[in-house]
Homo-oligomer: A and B are copies of this chain.
Amino acid sequence: MLRKDILKKLKQHGVLPTSQRVEVAAILLARPQHLSADQIIDKLNGRGSRVSKATVYNTLKIFSEQGIVKELSVDSRCKFYDSTTDSHHHFYHVDSGQLSDIPESQVSISSLPPLPTGTEQESVEVMIRVRDKGR
């Protein structure tokens, strides 16, 4: 994603594009991926950017509140931030903790239960947990 498009995206979502926010966005939005705050901090350090830990956390919180990224709670140890905000499904590799996307089109659900009274559906997500063969 080009810097120009990142600036546009942040503004579209009502987020002031400060240099630190653009740096975080440039890493996370580079491709469809799932990164933890920690992984993002490592990547920032790797490219010589100086963004403090707290700012990364604050930025990710703002991004997910504004719908720029999607927060995932798969592992109770840490949150993951998904650069793909559309509804989609995931493989979760339990041995490595690695998440990967499954396009919505590759899963079809033919029946669902009625929703609890007074609620409306926000999303339906399928998680396929996999492990290394023959463990």
Contacts and interface: CB of A to CB of B under 8 A. Distances in A.
Interface stretch (A7-15, A40-48, A111-119): A111-119
A3 interface: no
Contacts of A112: 106-107, 128
B116 A91 contact: yes
Interface residues of A, number: 39
Given A116-B93, A132-B118, A126 B109 contact: yes
Nearest to A93: B119
A115 B127 contact: no
Contacts of A116: 91, 93, 100, 130
B106 A111 contact: yes
A107 B109 CA distance: 7
Interface stretch (A16-24, A27-35, A50-58, A70-78): A70-78
